[in-house]
């Protein structure tokens, strides 16, 4: 006779069962555990067992990976999740809103980098002092993109 299907959030799953359900390798599960993203229990043989609801936390980790959310940020937001029950629908809504804001910030950052890189393509100076990309804190950045001083000198030297 086969055993009944696992259905309660507190059911314990073996590493192999979690791997089969998530596609996450055992080494990654240990890594997530070491980072505090998931927890495991031990049986009498010292084998890891995971509460069924850990599958949902692993799903969140996988979603974050797909979105490029740094693991440190995932760990931060996981501190706001319940540790003894699965993340709720409301938890996921809240987490996804936070990650959406992070994606928007990253998009703005990348757009800015792309703008700086575009200026470099038209310049080629690779100057540690003048290049906005190489020296982002340079005060000259407020005076425009690219080799501002060279442009200024060009204007001073241009008699016309």
Question: Exposed, middle or buried, 126 (CB in 10 Å: 0-12/13-18/19+)?
Answer: exposed
Residue 141: both structure tokens together: 């950045």
Cα–Cα distance between 101 and 128 in angstroms, integer?
32
96-109: buried (b, 16+ CB within 10 Å) or exposed (e) per residue? Answer: eeebeebeeeeeee
Stretch near ligand FES under the rule CB under 6 A, chosen from 19-27, 66-74, 117-125, 152-160: 117-125
Of positions 119, 138, 141, 149, contacts ligand FES by CB under 6 A: 119
Q: How far is the CB of 134 from ligand FES (least distance, A)?
A: 6
Q: How far is the CB of 157 from ligand FES (least distance, A)?
A: 19
Stretch 85-114: interaction string toward ligand FES, x if CB under 6 A: ------------------------------
Give the residues lining the site for ligand FES (CB under 6 A). 119-120, 123-127, 130-133, 146-147
């Amino acid at each position: 006779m086969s055993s009944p299907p696992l259905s309660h959030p507190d059911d314990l799953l073996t590493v192999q069962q979690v791997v089969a359900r998530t596609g996450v390798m055992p080494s990654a599960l240990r890594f997530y555990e070491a980072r505090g993203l998931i927890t495991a229990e031990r049986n009498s043989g010292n084998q890891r067992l995971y509460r069924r609801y850990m599958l949902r936390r692993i799903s969140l980790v996988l979603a974050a990976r797909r979105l490029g959310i740094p693991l440190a940020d995932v760990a931060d937001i996981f501190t706001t999740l319940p540790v003894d029950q699965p993340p709720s629908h409301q938890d996921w809504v809240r987490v996804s809103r936070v990650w959406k804001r992070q994606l928007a910030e990253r998009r703005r950052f990348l757009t800015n980098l792309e703008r700086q890189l575009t200026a470099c393509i038209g310049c080629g100076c690779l100057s540690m002092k003048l290049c906005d990309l190489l020296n982002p804190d340079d005060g000259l950045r407020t005076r425009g993109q690219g080799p501002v001083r060279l442009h200024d000198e060009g204007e001073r030297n241009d008699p016309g």
